Structure 1
Amino acid sequence: MNKLIRVLSATAVLPGAALATAGVLENGWAGRLPDPVATHWNSAPNGATPLGAFTGVCLALGAVAVLLLATTAVAALRRGRPLPRLTVGVGAGFAGLPPAVLLSVLVANLDAPDWHAARNGAVVVLFLLGAVVLGAVAALVGGLPAPPVRETPGDRPSVGLRPGQRAFWSGRAANPAMLWALALIPVAIAFLPAGLPWPTAVWIALVGAVVTALTYRLSATVDAKGVTIRFGLLGVPWRHLGLDSIREATTRELTTFGDGGLGLRFNPVTGTTAYKVRGGPALVLALESGRTVLVGVDDPETGAGLVNDLLAQRITRID
């Protein structure tokens, strides 16, 4: 099956079909539902929302989630990046949450004379399990793991820098999905029958968006002074590695949740520090101290080659 068809089937068709089904059922059940409908339970219904408003928000959230998931996945595919099954599955399951919540609320309110008489909201668990199943199917259909990386011992990248020449390299990476995920997840939870109160959800979404805005981008630069790594919109936190602290540079593929996950991660056992906002190609810096620094940015081959050429120009020791 064509890769693009697989990715679109997993990220657009499957969650989109769940969203469309929820919309069709709501329209068909409109005459059998009270208005407003119970949308929050604490053993018994204790909160209600107008049917039209609740349906509209759920469908809108679902449409936004499907659109962002599909566009992000297609963009990664066109850039030649892997799409791990876990990433695709989590994304599709998240996109399936709004229709799952909508259907669970509709079923609990179906044929009730008013929202106070709605059935127990525990039915939401069944629909959330449905979202999990949807995610699992999407992972099998649209997951495109990276092929095994074949490493050649002693093969050090180079850009052919000649003595006396100057060069500069900059690599970047961004993960916009982190922004919308941390902003929408608290809002989605607020729609669960026993979810967060609205003020709490809004504050969590705002804090999550601000924190993510400061960390969702990553850049690395290489010049004659060494390698500089910067995070987020403000470029903080940042780290500079002088050439005298680097032994060699190579590249490798990173998985989305490998090496500790996204963000700034340190493994005290291996001595590896990872700077990541997404899975994919990364610059690997082997330090003189024996530690390793991983920087997940685009075009790391050029950056690694420039580091090695700069090191070769200043080497005076014999290994």
Structure 2
Amino acid sequence: MSDRAGGTGRTGGAGATAWAAAGWAAGVAALLVVLPLAASGRLPDRLATHWGSGSGAPDGSMPLWAAAFFPALIWAVLVLVVALARRWTGAGGWVAGTLVSGAVGLAGAQASIVRANLGHEDWRQADSVTVRVVVVIAAAALAGFAAALAGRRKAEGAGAPTGEGPRLEIPSGERFVWLSRASNAWLQLIATGTGLVAAAGALAGLGGLIGAEWALVAPFAAASLLTLVFSSVRARVTGQGLEVAFGPLGLPVRRWAAGEIESARVEHRTAAQVGGWGYRLSGLGTTVMLRGGECLVIRSKGKDFAVSVDDAERGAALLNSLGARRSG
């Protein structure tokens, strides 16, 4: 039995990722600088920035301005090194993991330093940060792993389909895979912006600048997560049917078995027709609208589901051919 891969379409992935990454990197740098400066009135002139491993007591300090800008400098160097390494090696799976882990680690460390020094007149009186350091390291490792997993996700599969619409001849004994991705730069930028607002609120709370303002953090965090999830999509046709996965981690996933798909076709749809961008419900059924133009549309259980991806005609043809094979 042999395998054949169908076409793969991508829409706006590189540009969207570049803009979102640039905005996110700048936002992280700003948060690192602003956090201690915003609390300057409640901090000593020098901040404790190092604690003894044995005693847990502060044994090193920096002026306030240095404590504000030094982590941002480390972040800028990290971003530059990763960007150059990415350009030279072409490898991408580790980039997201490194940057996300670094951002969480630096931001958590900065918040811990501010919180430990807050309300003290001398840096030697700063509180211990041992517990916070452990939590920050764990959070950075977990975030880095999740981001690396998202960056390394690749598709594989096998496929073919039913109904009126285009068809492809699938030789007996061969397996086919069709894969197409799409993303929306504006939705990714919105997710980045709302995520930075949530991060700023969380860091301010952890740093002791404000109370636990979850009423502020939670809505922005939820908006960022939902927008990010529905800002990119991957559609895959295999011998088992259709799979549509959302977001950088490919979760959540919607699946239709080949026998459940009554027909597949291609339609031209716009955001105005379906009521906006993202995951939309309208008189046309359910549409994952990331860019106007051709959409892969399937009909299952009397309802339509559409996803705006490139090379939709090939995907529809494979689904229809698979359906014809099964019914035959």
Q: TM-score range by the shorter chain?
A: 0.3 to 0.5
TM-score (norm 1): 0.41
Q: Which has the higher contact order (CA 8 A, sep 6+)?
A: 2
TM-score (norm 2): 0.40
